[in-house]
C-alpha cells in the first residue's frame, strides 16, 4: 500500500489512499485521504495488547505542514477498536501513530516547526502562529516544548547580580 505519494507525504504508519484536487484559484490545496498501515496503531496504551474487535470508523482532519509548497487537507479514516483485555479502564481506543497521537489535531512535525520558528527562526509567537495556521496558545505551547528540549535542565548558577536586576521603584540613596 506504500506508494510514491505516501513517501512524499512522509507520515510513518500512514498511507495515501486517494488525492482529490480542489479549486487552486481559491488557494485550496488537495484533499489527501489517509489509511493506517502500521499494526502497532491499534495497541492499547493502557494494557499493551493488540485490539482485535473493531467498533466503528472515525474520520479526523489533522493539520500538517505544506507539501511541495501547498497546504493539503489531510483526512485520516481510522478505526476505533474495543480493547480485548478484560478489566481495561479504557474500553475503546482509536488508531494512533507517532506523528499523530490520539486526539491530536496537529501533526507532531507541524507542532515542532511552529516552536522552532520562534526559538531558532527569530519570529514572534504571533508570527509563527499566523505562518503555520495555528492559534497563539498552540504556538506558545510549541515554543515552550521546543525550549524544554534544547535548553539545559539546570542553568548555570548566578555569580554576579547587577543593580539593574534588583532595583525597583524610586531610588533612595542612603
Domain boundaries, the chain: 1-99, 106-151
Residue 52 pLDDT more than 70?
A: yes
Contacts of 173 (CB under 8 A, 6+ apart): none
Apex 165 CA angle, 160 and 171, nearest 5: 120
% of the chain with per-residue pLDDT over 90: 44
Give the confidence band of 168 by pLDDT, cuts at 50, 70, 90: low
Q: 40-54: b or e for each residue (b if 16 or more CB lie within 10 Å)?
A: ebbbbeebeeebeee
Taking residues 47-62, what's their average pLDDT?
90
This prediction has a pTM of 0.77
Contact criterion met (CB below 8 Å) for 60 and 14 = no
* Confidence band, pLDDT 50/70/90 cuts, at residue 163: low
Tell me the average pLDDT across 67-73.
83
Question: pLDDT class for 39, splitting at 50, 70, 90?
Answer: confident
pLDDT at residue 165 tops 60 = no
The pLDDT tens digits for 130-141 are 999 999 999 999
**Residues 57, 66, 26, 103, CA torsion sign:** positive
Q: Which three cell numbers stand for residue 29?
A: 490545496
pLDDT at residue 153, as a whole number:
81
Return the pLDDT at 167: 58
- Burial code (b: 16+ CB inside 10 Å, e: under 16) for 149-165 equals eeeeeeeeeeeeeeeee
Provide the terminal-to-terminal Cα distance of the chain, rounded to the nearest Å. Answer: 79
Amino acid at each position: 500500500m506504500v506508494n510514491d505519494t505516501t513517501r512524499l507525504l512522509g507520515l510513518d504508519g500512514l498511507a495515501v489512499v486517494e488525492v482529490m484536487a480542489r479549486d487552486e484559484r481559491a488557494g485550496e490545496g488537495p484533499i489527501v485521504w489517509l489509511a493506517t498501515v502500521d499494526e502497532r496503531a491499534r495497541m492499547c496504551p493502557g494494557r499493551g495488547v493488540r485490539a482485535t474487535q473493531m467498533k466503528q470508523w472515525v474520520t479526523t482532519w489533522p493539520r500538517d505542514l505544506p507539501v511541495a509548497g501547498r497546504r493539503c487537507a489531510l483526512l485520516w479514516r481510522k478505526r476505533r477498536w474495543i480493547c480485548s483485555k478484560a478489566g481495561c479502564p479504557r474500553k475503546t481506543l482509536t488508531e494512533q501513530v507517532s506523528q499523530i497521537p490520539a486526539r491530536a489535531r496537529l501533526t507532531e512535525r507541524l507542532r515542532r516547526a511552529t516552536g522552532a520558528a520562534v526559538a531558532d527562526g527569530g519570529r514572534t509567537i504571533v508570527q509563527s502562529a499566523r505562518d503555520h495556521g495555528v492559534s497563539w496558545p498552540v504556538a506558545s505551547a510549541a515554543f515552550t516544548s521546543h525550549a524544554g528540549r534544547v535548553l539545559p535542565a539546570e542553568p548555570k548558577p548566578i555569580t554576579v547580580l547587577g543593580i539593574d536586576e534588583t532595583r525597583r521603584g524610586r531610588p533612595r540613596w542612603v
